[in-house]
Structure 1
Amino acid sequence: MRHSSPEFAALAENGTILRCLVGSTVHGTAVDDQGDRDEMGICVEPKEYVVGLRRFDQYIHRTRPDGVRSGPGDLDLTVYSLRKWMRLALDGNPTVLLPLFVPDSQVVRRTPLADELRAQAHRFATRAAGRRFIGYLRSQRESMLGLRGGRKANRPELIERFGFDVKFAHHMVRLGIRGVELMETGRITLPMAEPWRSWLVALRTGGHTREEALDEARALEDRLLALVAAVDLPDAADREWADRWLVDAYERVWSGGEPGAGVTPRPAARGPAR
């Protein structure tokens, strides 16, 4: 895969400003026999990958070969360029927003530039983000139900054990909880607070039925729809601020004023170190 090349591994290793845990572990809802370790990073690529002909959007590293599903103990790492991460975050991508709120104990690597970015987390709480949470919730529900437009379940062992894919169900309900919290407070609490944390763990281990999960998701979706319509938040993120901040951040890194990718690194033979 192009995104997993040694060249991109080196760019990510040398330019990372933030790397942290994401996924069920950081939410506090991981189940030992169902999860891998998901990490996300943000890096500043060298100037020639921004103003030259070369391009870097993201680096992907997986313990398992491409096409093989990850399991317990495996690492799935995605390191985005700062520009791509910003575009996704401004649009309210639920997963991409997590590094803004991850507690220090779950941060693998961080620079002062990352601290500066995390201090601006409030700028990403928008009604557009709420709409994205609704869209992702619906997608997980379609996947769980096997409806057209949803992904086919690739976890037959969960269906055999519980009667439905509890991982899709978990994501569906979790997205509703997180979307409501972001609209009501402007933040996402990590790990998730009780009683939802225990409820979701129980869902993943057979403690709730598919119908119960669907009922909770419907209630959360209705609440989220009402909040998006009425909450006192910007309709969309401030892209002019983001553009100014990105230009300044890249110029500081390239001039050596901030840790990051000042020169093109040699290709690495493996994924970025933790």
Structure 2
Amino acid sequence: MTADPGAIARANEILRTEAGSGVHGLAIAGVSDHDENGVFVEPAEHVIGLADAVDHHTWRDRPEGHRSQAGDRECTLYSLRKFLRLAVAGNPNLLLMLYAPKASVYRTSALGEELRALGPAFLSRQAVRRTVGYLDGQVAMLLGRGRQKDMPKRPELVAKHGYDTKFASHALRLGLQGLELAEHARLTLPMPEADRERVLRVKTGAAPDLASVLAEIERVRDRVSTLLDTGRTPLPEAPDTAAISAWSVAAHRRHWDSVLPE
């Protein structure tokens, strides 16, 4: 019998939070969709048995390939093993789950709370560099230099503002969050008010023009790079993989003990 990845993910979920613009404090009423991310523990037979691995499951209101509309919901649940691999590598989207405010935590458990408490162990200079890499990717797509499938798909924004303001706002947000990580070894969600206003100004097309937006993004990026290059950051070079790995082993065992029959 073929396992249902969705049923497995939902039955073993330990954490789910708001994601996307909502958790950043950048959602625009009547415009933004609603994103969620979560973590589940794969059953033992899918990790140490012969059943196929189930590393993630996504459900969304619209079919794959169709752009989300205002209010549409999309949720992706990651297996704990996949989440940890991506978060340790500094994936900025998944680190949000560890720092989402209480109001944006939709489901949690004892293991979920322990995972969130491990948040500082994931923060590192490596994570900041990954964030800067995501920033560069957004700028490349903004300027039409990304892979063809990633070219701007929001012609209405380009027609109205002369460029894709959403890509531009993503790039600035990533830069400001990378700067907060590099300066203070923390990630504040929702974004601090001043930073949030800067990003919303770009997202809503209130910035003067693309050149001024690109200059602002570059200034923030340069500050981040200077902190990393000079070592003037409280962050360690790499995440604490030993602590994270030890917790992961214990978490899997405890979850399996709680669901397996006597």
Which range, TM-score by smaller chain?
over 0.9
RMSD over aligned Cα atoms: 1.6
Q: 1:226 to 1:60 in 2, by over 3 A?
A: same
Q: 1:145 to 1:116 in 2, by over 3 A?
A: same
Task: Note if contact 2:135-2:171 (Cα within 8 Å) is conserved in structure 1.
Answer: yes
Which deviations, in whole Å up to 9, do the C-alpha atoms of 1:118-140 show, x marking residues without a partner? 11111111010010011000000
* Unmatched runs of 5 consecutive residues or more in structure 2: none
Separation in 2 of the partners of 1:189 and 1:163?
Answer: 31
Please say if 1:44 is aligned against 2:41.
yes
Please say if 1:220 is aligned against 2:229.
no
Pairwise CA distance, 1:198? 1.5
Bigger shift: residues 82-91 or 150-159: 150-159
Pairwise CA distance, 1:263? 5.4
Identity %: 41
Q: Which residue of 2 aligns with 1:84?
A: 82
Amino acid aligned to 1:60: T
Bigger shift: residues 32-41 or 173-182: 32-41
Q: Which residue of 1 aligns with 2:257?
A: 255
Please say if 1:114 is aligned against 2:112.
yes
Q: Which residue of 2 aligns with 1:233?
A: 235
Report SS of the residue matched to 2:90. coil
Separation in 2 of the partners of 1:189 and 1:71?
Answer: 27
Task: Note if contact 1:46-1:263 (Cα within 8 Å) is conserved in structure 2.
Answer: no
Task: Note if contact 1:144-1:168 (Cα within 8 Å) is conserved in structure 2.
Answer: yes
Which deviations, in whole Å up to 9, do the C-alpha atoms of 1:187-218 show, x marking residues without a partner? 11111112121221121111002122211110
Instruction: Say which structure is richer in helix.
Output: 2
Task: Note if contact 2:30-2:71 (Cα within 8 Å) is conserved in structure 1.
Answer: no
Please say if 1:14 is aligned against 2:11.
yes
- What is the TM-score when the length of structure 2 is the normalising length? 0.93
- What is the TM-score when the length of structure 1 is the normalising length? 0.89
Separation in 2 of the partners of 1:181 and 1:66?
Answer: 34
Task: Note if contact 2:183-2:234 (Cα within 8 Å) is conserved in structure 1.
Answer: no
User: What does residue range 178-217 of structure 1 map to in structure 2 within 5 Å?
Assistant: 178-208=177-207, 209-217=209-217
Separation in 2 of the partners of 1:35 and 1:17?
Answer: 26
Please say if 1:102 is aligned against 2:110.
no
Separation in 2 of the partners of 1:202 and 1:6?
Answer: 46
List structure 1 runs of 4+ shifted beyond 6 angstroms. Answer: none
Task: Note if contact 1:24-1:30 (Cα within 8 Å) is conserved in structure 2.
Answer: yes
Pairwise CA distance, 1:34? 3.5
Please say if 1:127 is aligned against 2:125.
yes
Q: Which has the higher contact order (CA 8 A, sep 6+)?
A: 1
Task: Note if contact 2:38-2:76 (Cα within 8 Å) is conserved in structure 1.
Answer: yes
Which of 53, 57, 61 pairs up with 2:55? 57
Q: Which residue of 2 aligns with 1:25?
A: 22
Separation in 2 of the partners of 1:141 and 1:132?
Answer: 14
Separation in 2 of the partners of 1:8 and 1:156?
Answer: 35
User: What does residue range 143-154 of structure 1 map to in structure 2 within 5 Å?
Assistant: 143-149=141-147, 151-154=150-153
Amino acid aligned to 2:16: R
